[in-house]
Amino acid sequence: NEGIDQLYEVLKNSHSKEKDAVSILAQFTNEQIIKKIIPKYNQKYNRNMIEHIQHESQGLVRRLFTTILTPRYQIWAQLLFDFSGTKMLPHLVKIASLIDHQDRFRLIQNYQELFSQPIDHLFTLIKDQNINLYLKSIMKNEYEITDDGILQFCEDCKQIMTAQQMFEFIVTLTPKKLPKFLQQFKIQLGYNFDVYLLKAHGEIKDIVQCRLLSLEAPVQQIADILMQFIKKTKDDVILSQVTCVFRDYLWKDLNLYYKDMVEHIKANQWGRYEDAILRLWGIEWF
């Protein structure tokens, strides 16, 4: 309630205080803002919080607010579309690797709403055959692998395995099932899965490893993606989208990445936007 009151006072009093509003919002995760803060704000002050923010802020900071309040599945759909070009495909693979079988339902729906096209439209934009197969496997996956499924896959690996079969399996793995799979694979085949992957599927090794990393260490993968954008992009729209989507994932581990983030953000000299993005991450003490 204190945060809600502070936010209302900031927005009510002055346009110049919009960065302070970002600092207040930085105290909460995106999900808390959407599910708790907005409803309480609307009820207490009888005013639509989103409309209030849009009215009382401007330019890049207003865009940042809007992105925070956009469901991450909608942003994901936009990012996948943006990254469908040849040069951005490695980013697409990393982001797509974070999508599980439940998330993909909402992503498919949001893609349809954004572009008035089914998700198949995205596949037509991606010219790399393996990445296309991988993304299709993610979007078509409807279940999590069972222990029996893991045993059968390990047995199948003793024969020739296609890239499609590999993708269809790895997208069904969960963080809980991954250690069991790696252990069982070594028991049945006598060597580690990464050795097999390099030997039998070198052309898709990076894609498969990207998926496994997203299961084993999602925070590391997300931080790596974020840092790449902070280092390379001058596009404030993409940066705000990536920041707002990943902020929730990194919420408990932000202290591990604060220093590098600050150094790279300041090195790129984003000016007014730089301050807002730092405040959004809760970084005010550097």
How would you write the pLDDT of the chain (286 residues) with one tens digit per residue? Answer: 677 888 788 777 655 566 677 777 777 777 788 888 889 989 998 988 878 877 776 665 677 677 777 777 777 888 889 888 888 888 889 889 988 877 888 889 989 998 999 999 999 999 999 999 999 999 999 889 999 999 999 999 999 999 999 999 999 999 999 999 999 999 999 999 999 999 999 999 999 999 999 898 877 777 777 767 766 666 666 666 777 767 766 665 655 555 666 666 666 555 555 665 666 665 543 3
Does residue 285 belong to any structural domain of this protein? no
Residues 6+ positions from 50 with CB-CB distance below 8 Å: 38, 69
Q: What is the pTM of this model?
A: 0.76
Residue finishing a domain among 139, 169, 193: 139
Does residue 174 belong to any structural domain of this protein? yes
Please check whether residues 79 and 65 belong to one and the same domain.
Answer: no
Q: Where are the alpha helices (DSSP H) in the chain?
A: 2-13, 18-25, 30-32, 38-45, 49-56, 59-68, 72-82, 89-96, 103-115, 120-125, 129-140, 147-156, 163-170, 178-189, 193-200, 205-216, 218-232, 236-247, 258-268, 272-280
Please check whether residues 46 and 84 belong to one and the same domain.
Answer: no
Please check whether residues 232 and 271 belong to one and the same domain.
Answer: yes
Please check whether residues 181 and 209 belong to one and the same domain.
Answer: yes
Residue 104 domain boundaries? 72-139
Please check whether residues 96 and 62 belong to one and the same domain.
Answer: no
Please check whether residues 268 and 237 belong to one and the same domain.
Answer: yes
Tally of domains in the chain: 3
